[in-house]
Structure 1
Amino acid sequence: MSKPDSAKGSSKTPAAKKLKLETSDDEPSSSRTPSVDSGFLASVELKRKQCAGNILEFKFNKKRCRLLSKSMDLGNFGGGVLYWMSREQRVQGLEEVEAECQKLQIEFHLLKGDSQICVPNLIKKLKLDAVVADFSPLRVPLSWIEKVKESIPEDVPFCQVDAHNIVPVWVASDKQEIGARTIRKKIHDKLDEFLTDFPAVVTHPHPSQTKAKPVDWKAANAYLEVDRTVEEVDWITPGTKSGLLELSNFCQKRLRLFGEKRNDPNVAALSNLSPWLHFGQLSAQRCILEVKEYKAKYAKSVDVYIEETLIRRELSDNFCFYNPNYDNLKGAANWAQETLDVHKKDKRPALLTSQQLEEGKTHDDLWNASQIQLTRTGKMHGFLRMYWAKKILEWTATPEEALRLAIYLNDRYSLDGRDPSGYVGCMWSICGIHDMGWKQRDVFGKIRYMNYKGCQRKFDVVAFVQRFGARTYPIKGVKYE
């Protein structure tokens, strides 16, 4: 069961790009239908069976859950337990979930509307004994949880499971961490306990007496309140199966390059798994379990991948969970707020409009190419995201406006928009989150600076610009490096 992101009563932030079931020549790595055969999928299923033949044989770590109700005593209604998904699957991946649930004799209900009304109504209708919700640290999903908590009967146990992080965010740390250096050991010390394989999922031994209605997926798609002027991308296939195959492709073809070439946007070295991870169609835990098997062959690449997918990613959830101002300047460290304020009135080398930025028509051809990549493919190379956001700070009137625009563009066009990693990425680039103070300079103050020449030293800028057909747009009075 899921509440679509854009269902009525949800956040009004711009909808991220949708996934389309076709391919394109735009992306060099995962743009093709995964070429790996079903052998990898079979191996994953075998590992699950070897872990535990079914969920009853698996020793579930209760630390993954937190109790939201006063009691966890199950009722005697006999209606079963509701697993409420909101972060861990989205509409297009849910078609695959519905089909799998039917095979497993698990009833799948797609609810449309306000969760505080839909969930309690379903509990009452089906006489459910308990509710388990997934976890997101962002304020809108957290508000859904609080409203449902207030709306369901007190005698119905309600708990939340962090299925997104390997180490649950409330277990990894009980406070906002300063940076990767302070959370790294805390997470690594708990991996023996939490980085486990998954048990097999078997046919439910007690079929429900109340059958769910088949979902009209065309109607569900039409119901979504999304910005349909943002075109669908065509290089990626949604769903867990496709995500697993792309994971196999990464391990076999690109992992060997990841350690040395991940910051070169002209080399197909990245995993390209963030859309599946964001939409809950692939777990970071599965990714790391598979990548670790290549440690003997590609030690550096494996270590760097674990650092980014485990430490940096879970640091982002930590920041958003413990800092309610994760998307505005009040969430920055005191030193960063002070330095940005001191330099707030510094003369900018250029003042660009939101339209110039959104259309990729600036005086910087690399920035324009990065923006074109984002709007055309729904993703931007990780290294360029930093450069991209920092230039928005340099070209807008205030840091507040820069952060607003960076978040807006990322959330509107990126497949992994509206994600803790996206907010932290913008906050790191513009507000110095999880970073330190650097040499003072105009506009940036002590915030880390990046420039065009630095990019030229790292990779072939001309090749990247040409790949996306970008060019410069001369702006009166602006001289560019």
Structure 2
Amino acid sequence: MSLPASPVHAQRLYCHTPSVRGSGPVAYWMSRDQRLHDNWALLQAQHMARTRQAPLIIVFCLVPSYSGGARRHFDFMLTGLRQVADSAAKLGIPFVLLTGEDPPGELAGFCRTHAIGTVVMDFDPLRTKQQWQHTFAGHWEGECLEVDAHNVVPCRWASEKQEYAARTIRPKLQRQLPEFLDPFPELVPHPVPWRGSLLPEPDWEAASRSLAAPEYGPPLSWSSGEETALDLAREFIASGLSAYAEKRNDPTAGAVSGLSPYLHFGQIAPQRVALMARDANWAPAESREGFLEELVIRRELAENFCFYNPVYDCFGGLPAWAQQTLDDHRGDHREVVYTFEQWEAARTHDPLWNAAQQEMVQTGKMHGYMRMYWAKKILEWSASPEEALSTAITLNDRYELDGRDPNGYTGVLWSIGGVHDRPWKERPVYGKVRYMNDRGAARKFDVQAYIRRFFPATASERQGTLPLG
């Protein structure tokens, strides 16, 4: 009996090897979207395997020293992956964990050994993952297909160029949302068992021992995995969404979803959360629309920026007006200049900044409003914009559970260099880049309550951090 057409929208697919047609087993190279359900890439892989009555396997390539990742990142990820492997086994889908510093080479060798015919990959806009995929596709003889399971509107399809701002990408996404914001089909038990040579069982303890990851910050209490992510999303939609529009910029209100680590590791699909928010008719329209603006429009704007701008984490990635104005103010007097070690240890004269840094170190996450303030003050008290970018990105990627993410890079470049923003009133150091200060924060929320929570030092202890000048 023939199967129906693929449940995956054709515009989610991108073939890296258009002249090659695979046969035999299908491997899903899981990377960015680390979940079993609501995963268009895995659904496409299963469809292809069922069509040719072939086995299906999931392969994950663990890189022990990946991009400066800390132990907290790897622990969160491996816990979630172990759950994926256990759930996949119940559906007759083997999970293979490869370990090494050369994912394209490791995967190519595995595919040749086990006669894989087709590899389905996750879309990822970041340089390292793009390079891995191009290297693999260029040196492997089989079929190689990419599926965008991370964006509601596929990044390659949403726009063919780097968008200037939210106002330029918003109408494009809104026009296409009805076509792509559709329900997910179920992943079914795979009917064809693995018949090839013996597959290696994942050795999770050995994988953990292989990690070259430093212990940045204390251990975290976050639970990991797609079931936890879905429960958290349900709780937010049911009890938090209604107040989102009113309280989302208040770091003391607990009004945000807390989903960013789960979205970053692909433990929940943004499309699933968008469907839940869209259908939450009990919540005010302003809150639903504001949440969807952040979840879909702003997040996919960040995807667009990183995909089309190869220097998305550098001074050269800033818009021309921002580069010019920051260049014009390089020689401006700074009231204080801190070293990286002082930033990392939260040893500045500003207790609000210190509290934000401590929130990130202690919890693995910083409230979005404070991320903007935090990054802008790094610009104000650094010797150069390049140094500020390096400091902010390094700290973000070192401590945030959602580090090394398009949202993170875009947020830092927005704060420090006006990406997706416009020129504002000119002032020292910032030039025409938007300015923020603690007085503005105090108009939005109880600054002292936030400081007491994350930086509960006495006044005399604060004075002993670092003086101005």
Aligned partner of residue 190 in structure 1, secondary structure: helix
Q: Which residue number in structure 1 is paired with residue 108 of structure 2?
A: 120
How far did residue 144 of structure 1 move? 0.5
Write the distance in 1 (CA, Å) between the matches of 2:153 and 2:363. 31
- Choose the corresponding residue for 2:252, options 260, 266, 269: 266
Write the distance in 2 (CA, Å) between the matches of 1:58 and 1:252. 33
How far did residue 188 of structure 1 move? 1.0
How far did residue 117 of structure 1 move? 1.5
How far did residue 367 of structure 1 move? 0.5
Q: Which residue number in structure 2 is paired with residue 330 of structure 1?
A: 316
Write the distance in 2 (CA, Å) between the matches of 1:66 and 1:223. 33
- Choose the corresponding residue for 2:194, options 193, 208, 226: 208
Aligned partner of residue 441 in structure 1, secondary structure: coil
Q: Structure 1 residues 58, 297: closer, same or farther in 2, change over 3 A?
A: farther
The unaligned stretches of length 5 or more in structure 2 are: 35-76
Does residue 478 of structure 1 match 2:464?
no
Give the superposed CA RMSD: 1.6
Counterpart of 1:377, as a letter, is: T
Residue pair 1:316, 1:421 contacting (<8 A) in 2 also: yes
Write the distance in 2 (CA, Å) between the matches of 1:271 and 1:290. 13
Counterpart of 2:82, as a letter, is: E
Write the distance in 2 (CA, Å) between the matches of 1:446 and 1:474. 33
Q: Which residue number in structure 2 is paired with residue 240 of structure 1?
A: 226
Residue pair 1:368, 1:470 contacting (<8 A) in 2 also: no
- Choose the corresponding residue for 1:84, options 9, 29, 32: 29
Q: Which residue number in structure 1 is paired with residue 328 of structure 2?
A: 342
Once the two structures are superposed, what CA deviation does each residue of 1:298-352 show, in whole Å capped at 9, x if it has no partner? 2111100100000000000100000011001101111000000000110011111
Does residue 356 of structure 1 match 2:347?
no
Counterpart of 1:300, as a letter, is: E
Q: Structure 1 residues 440, 143: closer, same or farther in 2, change over 3 A?
A: same
Q: How does 1:75-474 map to 2 (within 5 A)?
A: 75=23, 78=24, 80-89=25-34, 90-113=77-100, 114-153=102-141, 156-210=142-196, 211-234=198-221, 236-471=222-457, 472-474=462-464
Counterpart of 1:212, as a letter, is: L
Aligned partner of residue 274 in structure 2, secondary structure: helix
Residue pair 2:7, 2:185 contacting (<8 A) in 1 also: no
Q: Structure 1 residues 191, 94: closer, same or farther in 2, change over 3 A?
A: same
Q: Structure 1 residues 473, 138: closer, same or farther in 2, change over 3 A?
A: farther
How far did residue 467 of structure 1 move? 1.1
Write the distance in 2 (CA, Å) between the matches of 1:266 and 1:337. 34
Residue pair 2:126, 2:306 contacting (<8 A) in 1 also: yes
Residue pair 2:348, 2:466 contacting (<8 A) in 1 also: no
Q: Structure 1 residues 208, 185: closer, same or farther in 2, change over 3 A?
A: same
Write the distance in 2 (CA, Å) between the matches of 1:58 and 1:168. 16
Q: Structure 1 residues 385, 289: closer, same or farther in 2, change over 3 A?
A: same
- Choose the corresponding residue for 1:67, options 15, 40, 43: 15
Counterpart of 1:394, as a letter, is: E
How far did residue 474 of structure 1 move? 5.0
How far did residue 222 of structure 1 move? 1.4
Residue pair 2:349, 2:467 contacting (<8 A) in 1 also: no
Counterpart of 1:469, as a letter, is: F
Counterpart of 1:406, as a letter, is: A
Residue pair 2:347, 2:466 contacting (<8 A) in 1 also: no
How far did residue 473 of structure 1 move? 3.7
Residue pair 2:22, 2:143 contacting (<8 A) in 1 also: yes
Write the distance in 1 (CA, Å) between the matches of 2:179 and 2:347. 50
Once the two structures are superposed, what CA deviation does each residue of 1:358-408 show, in whole Å capped at 9, x if it has no partner? 111111111111010000000000000000000000111101000100000
Write the distance in 1 (CA, Å) between the matches of 2:301 and 2:370. 20
Q: How does 1:14-29 map to 2 (within 5 A)?
A: none
Residue pair 2:155, 2:304 contacting (<8 A) in 1 also: yes
The unaligned stretches of length 5 or more in structure 1 are: 1-54
Counterpart of 2:15, as a letter, is: L
Aligned partner of residue 187 in structure 2, secondary structure: coil
Aligned partner of residue 109 in structure 1, secondary structure: strand
Once the two structures are superposed, what CA deviation does each residue of 1:20-57 show, in whole Å capped at 9, x if it has no partner? xxxxxxxxxxxxxxxxxxxxxxxxxxxxxxxxxxx957
Residue pair 2:151, 2:270 contacting (<8 A) in 1 also: yes
Highest relative contact order (Cα 8 Å, sep 6+), 1 or 2? 1
The TM-score with structure 1 as length reference comes to 0.85
Aligned length, in residue pairs = 420
Residue pair 1:82, 1:132 contacting (<8 A) in 2 also: yes
Q: How many percent identity over aligned positions?
A: 45
Residue pair 1:263, 1:383 contacting (<8 A) in 2 also: yes
Aligned partner of residue 111 in structure 1, secondary structure: strand
Write the distance in 2 (CA, Å) between the matches of 1:240 and 1:319. 27
Q: Using the TM superposition, name which of 408-417 and 353-362 deviates more.
A: 353-362
